[in-house]
Structure 1
Amino acid sequence: MPLTDLTLAQCLALRPDLDEPADLDRFWTRTLDEARACDTRPRYAPVDTGLTQVTTYDATVPGHDGHPVSGWLHLPAGRPQPLGCIVEFLGYGRGRGLPHENLLWANAGYAHFIMDTRGQGWSTAGGDTTDTATLGGTVPGFLTRGVDHPQHHYYRRVFTDAVRCVDAVRDHPAVDPDRIVVTGISQGGGIALAVAALAQGLAGVMPDVPFLCDIRRAARISATSPYTEIAEYLRLHRDRTDTVFRTLSYVDAALLASRATAPALFSIAMMDDICPPSTCFAAYHRYAGRKDLRVYEFNGHEGGQGHHRREQLSWVRDLLAAGKPTGAHPPHAPQLA
């Protein structure tokens, strides 16, 4: 697969000037204050998976507007509590799946919460999270749902769900509230960056090949779904370009990254034709906390896969063993993989 975007040297030098809404912080403060006003408590029901070394709970968390959001909470059996916790957000079109499918972090000795993404994916175990809004005038997909106004946009609800899931695990008796790390691949990476900006007191964040970064540029250069949803919408609605990109700026993870200070481990793939590397670098360069980077020079959107999971396991172990650094620090030199 050839390069489809800028070279690594160009990406390392890139400092895009992004249009930031003047009320971005007020918008998200108001949104989260409204969500946290809900007095519904999270619920955890034990699940019989047939496994003996991991205990799993079917979680229901009040998300945006108090709407129930499903998830799995995995706890390693026999480990002393409270535990460090990995909160994971999923890729585009994926739901939480089956309770026994994703056990890496629990096997490494951490609590692991997997958030179901509203309106996406499925689970034969039931408990799928539906979307609360019915919005017309969109092309297939999620990027243009409610794109007429920031208040209506789909990812406003998803980001709020994600922050509320972090709130929920922080209050769980099995979890150490000072040792929570958020992570995700693609869409999940963009959500993780947003949560790192919007949730206080995280120990770390691991965004992999993140989606939803420098969205205007991505819509212009990506020839692959999901970003093509924006171009398809604007091909039909030629007079709405300014409105669309103003709305999307409120959920642009590259803009929100400048508010995030937890230590971060990014991964970026230079032959990624779904989340162009220049857009991922926009988030990396704007990230305000201490940050490490792994660059997969000859990989596409699959990124580092198992090789990067090994990097993450070592990074989280060292991070949580050393305690939680705070504040902004210069980036470490990127490592090519």
Structure 2
Amino acid sequence: MARFDLPLDELRRYRPEITVPDDFDEFWRSTLSAARAYASAVTLSRVESPLTTVEVYDVTFAGFAGDPIKAWLLLPAGTEGRLPAVVEYNGYGGGRGLPEERLGWVSSGYAYLFMDTRGQGSAWGTGGGTPDPHGTGPSFSGFMTRGIEDPQAYYYRRVYTDAVRAVDAMRTLDRVDPDRVTVCGGSQGGGITLAVAGLTEGLVAVLPDVPFLCHFARAVGMNDRDPYNEIVRYLSIHRGADEHVFRTLSYFDGVAFAMRASAPALFSVGLLDPICPPSTVYAAFNHYAGEKQIEVYPFNEHEGGQTYQWQVQAAFVAERV
């Protein structure tokens, strides 16, 4: 992939104005209040596993509208007391998969929760187990345009709420220190991470890795790659719908959440990334209101730093817990 976005020195200064609805904060306050009104019991079922150093639990917690959301909880075997914790969100189209697939954080001594993304889990990986029972109006294939006619019905209202409730659930567990919770994720998971950072108090660290769902006004139409291109194709059919589509998206922009976040954050960006263009990542990073730093991978696309980035993340979190 050839370079197609702004030069790095301009990216470092790129701080665009974005449209934030006047009722943005009330929209999310009422959304989360309604979700928290449902019974919030977390169910844990111990799962047999060939892993000898990790305890594996199948988790269900109440998300948006009280819907049951699945997750894996991994705990270091033989530990006692309350542990620092990491909650991770997945990339676009993937499910929670198998618990044996993600052992870095638990092997480093953390309680680790990996959230299933409702309705996803059939595009790559080893599957998901959480349905999305809420219907929406006409949409293009994928998730980006589901319910896009109305912020109340938009798909990511449910997902972001699930993600906040995952942190709420983690904080109720006897083995977790509620004051030492980190949130992380790559791509879609990075965008969800930013939403949680802007909606949740008291996080110890925030790790948005090559984040998606940022600066929609620039991202949509900047290239021909999905998932942003799902919105382009929707608008190519629903001519004249762009005003209300971008109004809906303004409630879900990672830049708006970054403006409201305060926990220390470690971002990453691939300067050749055609899926989450670098300027959209820097828009969120440069607006981020808390302590922040960013790892730059000049010759990488959307894969970013991969395990190299995880090593940097592990050191960043260890300094804070």
Q: Deviations over 1:280-299 (max 9, x none)?
A: 00000111100011011110
Distance in 1 between residues matched to 2:185 and 2:100, nearest whole Å: 18
Q: Which amino acid aligns with 2:59?
A: A
CA RMSD of aligned residues (A): 1.4
Distance in 1 between residues matched to 2:26 and 2:180, nearest whole Å: 27
| Residue 77, structure 1, aligned to residue 61, structure 2 | no
| Residue 222, structure 1, aligned to residue 226, structure 2 | no
Per the alignment, residue 324 of structure 1 pairs with none
Q: Which amino acid aligns with 1:261?
A: S
Distance in 1 between residues matched to 2:305 and 2:128, nearest whole Å: 31
Per the alignment, residue 8 of structure 2 pairs with 8
Per the alignment, residue 108 of structure 1 pairs with 108
Map 1:108-257; keep pairs closer than 5 Å.
108-121=108-121, 128-257=129-258
Following superposition, the deviation at residue 81 of structure 1 comes to: 2.2
Distance in 2 between residues matched to 1:302 and 1:127, nearest whole Å: 22
Per the alignment, residue 34 of structure 2 pairs with 34
Per the alignment, residue 46 of structure 1 pairs with 46
User: Secondary structure at the residue paired with 1:100?
Assistant: helix
Q: Deviations over 1:167-203 (max 9, x none)?
A: 0001100000010000000000000000011011111
Pick closer, same or farther for the CA change 1:147–1:117 going to 2, 3 Å.
Answer: same
Following superposition, the deviation at residue 124 of structure 1 comes to: 11
Distance in 2 between residues matched to 1:135 and 1:162, nearest whole Å: 20
Per the alignment, residue 96 of structure 1 pairs with 96
Distance in 1 between residues matched to 2:242 and 2:8, nearest whole Å: 30
Q: Which moved more, 1:216-225 or 1:89-98?
A: 216-225
Report if aligned partners of 1:4, 1:272 keep a CA contact under 8 Å in 2.
no
Pick closer, same or farther for the CA change 1:261–1:110 going to 2, 3 Å.
Answer: same
Pick closer, same or farther for the CA change 1:56–1:228 going to 2, 3 Å.
Answer: same
Report if aligned partners of 1:84, 1:111 keep a CA contact under 8 Å in 2.
yes
Distance in 2 between residues matched to 1:104 and 1:317, nearest whole Å: 13
User: Secondary structure at the residue paired with 1:190?
Assistant: helix
Q: Deviations over 1:280-319 (max 9, x none)?
A: 0000011110001101111000000111111111111111
Distance in 2 between residues matched to 1:108 and 1:203, nearest whole Å: 16
Report if aligned partners of 1:119, 1:131 keep a CA contact under 8 Å in 2.
yes
Aligned-residue identity in percent: 50
Per the alignment, residue 18 of structure 1 pairs with 18
Following superposition, the deviation at residue 77 of structure 1 comes to: 0.8
Runs of 4 or more, structure 1, over 6 Å off, are 123-127
Q: Deviations over 1:216-270 (max 9, x none)?
A: 1100212210000010000001111000000011010111110000000000110
Distance in 2 between residues matched to 1:51 and 1:209, nearest whole Å: 30
Distance in 1 between residues matched to 2:113 and 2:101, nearest whole Å: 13
Gaps of 5+ in 2: none
Distance in 2 between residues matched to 1:133 and 1:171, nearest whole Å: 27
Q: Which moved more, 1:46-55 or 1:127-136?
A: 127-136
Gaps of 5+ in 1: 321-337
Q: Which moved more, 1:225-234 or 1:129-138?
A: 129-138
Following superposition, the deviation at residue 4 of structure 1 comes to: 2.1
Q: Deviations over 1:84-134 (max 9, x none)?
A: 001000000000001211111000110100000000005999871111212
Q: Which amino acid aligns with 1:7?
A: P
Distance in 1 between residues matched to 2:208 and 2:2, nearest whole Å: 23
Report if aligned partners of 2:121, 2:127 keep a CA contact under 8 Å in 1.
no
| TM-score, length basis structure 2 | 0.97
Q: Which amino acid aligns with 1:213?
A: C
User: Secondary structure at the residue paired with 2:101?
Assistant: coil
Per the alignment, residue 273 of structure 1 pairs with 274
Distance in 2 between residues matched to 1:247 and 1:113, nearest whole Å: 30
| TM-score, length basis structure 1 | 0.93
Distance in 2 between residues matched to 1:201 and 1:290, nearest whole Å: 14
